[in-house]
Amino acid sequence: MKSKGSCICTGAYSLFDCLTQNGVEHIFGYPGGAILPIYDELYHWEKESLIKHILVRHEQSAAHAADAYARSSNKVGVCFATSGPGATNLVTGIATAKMDSIPLVIITGQVARNFIGTDAFQETNIYGITLPIVKHSYTIKNPKEIPLVIMEAFFIAQNGRPGPVLIDIPKDIGLEELEPYNYIKYKNLYKKNYNTNLIVTKTLLIKTLFYLIQSYQPLLYLGGGVLRSNSGQFIHQLSRIFQIPVTTTLMGKSSFNEIDTLALGMLGMHGTAYANYAVSECDLLIVLGARFDDRVTGKLDEFACEAEVIHMDIDFKEISKNRYPQFSIIGDLKIIFQKIFRIIKNIQLNELLHTKNWLKRISKWKKNYPIVLKIYKNSEQKLTPQNIIYKINKTYPKAVYTTDVGQHQMWSAQLINAKPKHWLTSAGLGTMGFGLPSSIGAKVANPNKVVICISGDSSFQMSVQEFGTVSQYNLDIKMIILNNGWQGMVRQWQESFYGNRYSNSYMRNGMPNFEQIAAAYNINGINIFSSHLFHSEYLKLLMSSTNTLMVFHIIENENCYPMVAPGRSNSQMLGLKIDG
């Protein structure tokens, strides 16, 4: 055992020793009574620069920041919270990570073992509360368990389908002294039936290639599993070899370069028209690391109804859950495609490809139904959200982008072309308040990259207190608020489907001056009301080297189109306009 941190070997010491053995460099959290023994030990480890703790202003933000830390790197995110309200405040962040398959290790303090079950002060059964939203859970009953539990937690969080793992540690466990212990080696877990590599048969791989060769109108449909498996480069090669167009989900965005001629952008409720038409008319749909989410499929029985479906995923529970495929392949996508390319090397393909006419049809759809950039004449001085997002992305094409949830999220998904793992958004749960804390996690993980948070006025108010974290650590984050004075997506639905009955979606009354709030936290801020400022002060502030808030006051009633109405097929989109 190495000499680190404090001199006495306690449960808390063992915890940090094992965290660092698993490569943990950053922890996001907030202290409290039941976790104080752990934070007291953390004091020594931080003092010796062995680990860095990022103090958030709300526990939910700790989970979101750790989540984004994991999304934008190849690491596991780690967060701390105390018992009771500290632990329950993590729930939304844990559910966000579970829905999007993000590897997290969540460590919560708990009342001492002799108080468990007595309704002691700040006692909650966080183990039971979070069972439906974690991949696995532990309650530590003896400090000797810590080395094995920590190693297992990191292994489980990132192997197979990734997800959050909770470890609940009673207060007295952190204080209890223990004898010297042995580290559990990562490779030894494979010997304990934790092996997640599933058999991929050569027969199924050859069958996949046979279907591809025979297809005239194939389509690749990419989900978040492509990013988690780091298999994007292989899929790009496959699309090139077979000339297959590619569409992505909100989670799969950034796994394929959307400037590529074979890229169709996002499909689904607010996807591109050409992606939705393509999925409606393809004859072969190859689904990679995606789960046929309702926002993607629209009316499920009309989704890719003319297509034969091949579904590849690491999680066998996703197969046939929403759509029955012709056949499926279970396993890590990267391993699957490595095996596919070994087979491709030995066959001749050039004369067997039939997608030329299919790509011509898609090209025509792209021309006729583009994503519209609304740009008003300078004399009208109107700020449009699409134009703002488009110009931000043009200014910083290599930035890490985080978003909140709502109209701004969908406009960003339509218009931003991001590099792999540079697009961070709450997709499955749709969590408002995710944007600012996720930008904190992204910046901590990527200190030398530009990080831009795009939010709406309603979402931003759900985590505005994290200005404090940005200010404390002087994090150079560009924060963009598209302010229309509404819960924008709620207003759009009320307009489209609820007879213009705007029930509690107007936010102008009681809205703060975000610039003044930012100033109170020593953050530069500016309100931008008209288009002529967009070219001067906007660019000057955006390119500055300090954290910056820009509030763009956009058109209030701007809607996000295309849009697939609930219960409709993807080919029945609202708001389409033929170009020209």
State whether 59 and 96 are in the same domain: yes
pLDDT digits (tens, 9 = 90+) for 283-309: 999 999 999 999 999 999 999 999 999
Output DSSP code: residue 372.
Answer: P
Q: How far apart are CA 504 and CA 489, in angstroms?
A: 13
Instruction: State the average pLDDT over residues 404-430.
Output: 97
Q: Which of 1, 121, 185, 367 is flagged as catalytic?
A: 121
User: What's the chain's average pLDDT?
Assistant: 92
The domain that contains 389 carries what CATH number? 3.40.50.970
- Which pLDDT band holds residue 196 (cuts at 50, 70, 90)? low
375 part of a folded domain: no
Range of weakest confidence among 161-165, 344-348, 445-449:
344-348
Q: Which of 52, 115, 122, 316 is flagged as catalytic?
A: 122
State whether 248 and 102 are in the same domain: no
Select from 335, 336, 244 the least CA-distant residue to 284: 244
Active site residue 122: yes
Residue tagged 């759809």 (tokens): 365
Instruction: State the average pLDDT over residues 31-48.
Output: 98
State whether 423 and 505 are in the same domain: yes
Helix, strand or coil for residue 444?
helix
570 part of a folded domain: no
State whether 153 and 229 are in the same domain: no
Q: Tell me how far CA of residue 474 lies from CA of 31, 78, 443, 468, 569, in angstroms.
A: 21, 21, 11, 10, 47
- Which pLDDT band holds residue 4 (cuts at 50, 70, 90)? low
Question: Whats the size of the chain, residue-wise?
Answer: 580
pLDDT at 185: 74
Q: Which of 59, 145, 281, 318 is flagged as catalytic?
A: 59
Share of the chain above pLDDT 90, in %: 84
Active site residue 171: yes
Share of the chain above pLDDT 70, in %: 92
State whether 253 and 105 are in the same domain: no
Q: How far apart are CA 97 and CA 109, in angstroms?
A: 20
Q: Does the structure show a pLDDT above 80 at 579? A: no
Q: Which of 151, 251, 489, 563 is flagged as catalytic?
A: 489
Active site residue 141: no
State whether 215 and 128 are in the same domain: no
Of 336, 368, 400, the residue that ends a domain is: 368
51 part of a folded domain: yes
574 part of a folded domain: no
pLDDT digits (tens, 9 = 90+) for 76-97: 999 999 999 999 999 999 999 9
Instruction: State the average pLDDT over residues 536-543.
Output: 69
- Backbone phi and psi for residue 76, each to the nearest 5 degrees, phi listed first: -90, 135
Q: Does the structure show a pLDDT above 80 at 138? A: yes
- Which pLDDT band holds residue 2 (cuts at 50, 70, 90)? very low
Q: Does the structure show a pLDDT above 90 at 110? A: yes
Q: Tell me how far CA of residue 443 lies from CA of 65, 72, 79, 408, 544, in angstroms.
A: 9, 9, 16, 21, 16
432 part of a folded domain: yes
Q: Does the structure show a pLDDT above 60 at 266? A: yes
pLDDT digits (tens, 9 = 90+) for 364-374: 999 999 988 76
From edge to edge, which strands make up the β-sheet containing 164-170? Answer: 52-55, 26-29, 77-81, 104-110, 164-170, 136-139
pLDDT at 379: 43
Range of weakest confidence among 105-109, 204-208, 430-434, 532-536:
532-536
State whether 188 and 278 are in the same domain: no
pLDDT at 181: 83
Output DSSP code: residue 10.
Answer: B
- Which pLDDT band holds residue 1 (cuts at 50, 70, 90)? very low
pLDDT at 284: 98
State whether 514 and 473 are in the same domain: yes
Instruction: State the average pLDDT over residues 525-538.
Output: 77
Active site residue 432: no
Active site residue 59: yes
Of 161, 192, 223, the residue that ends a domain is: 192
Select from 402, 398, 375 the least CA-distant residue to 481: 402
State whether 389 and 515 are in the same domain: yes
377 part of a folded domain: no
State whether 114 and 215 are in the same domain: no
The secondary structure of 173-200, three-state, reads HHHCECCCCCCCCHHHHHHHCCCCCCCC
Domain of 176? 11-192
245 part of a folded domain: yes
Q: Tell me how far CA of residue 401 lies from CA of 158, 364, 396, 513, in angstroms.
A: 23, 30, 10, 24
Of 192, 220, 252, the residue that ends a domain is: 192
The domain that contains 360 carries what CATH number? 3.40.50.1220
Provide the angle, in degrees to the nearest 10, between the axes of the packed helices 36-47 and 11-21: 50
State whether 348 and 285 are in the same domain: yes
Instruction: State the average pLDDT over residues 220-241.
Output: 96
Overall domain count for the chain: 3
pLDDT at 320: 94
pLDDT at 8: 67
Q: Which residue has the higher pLDDT, 452 or 191?
A: 452
578 part of a folded domain: no
Q: Which of 171, 253, 421, 478 is flagged as catalytic?
A: 171
State whether 315 and 233 are in the same domain: yes
pLDDT digits (tens, 9 = 90+) for 472-515: 999 999 999 999 999 999 999 999 999 999 999 999 999 999 99
Instruction: State the average pLDDT over residues 353-376.
Output: 88
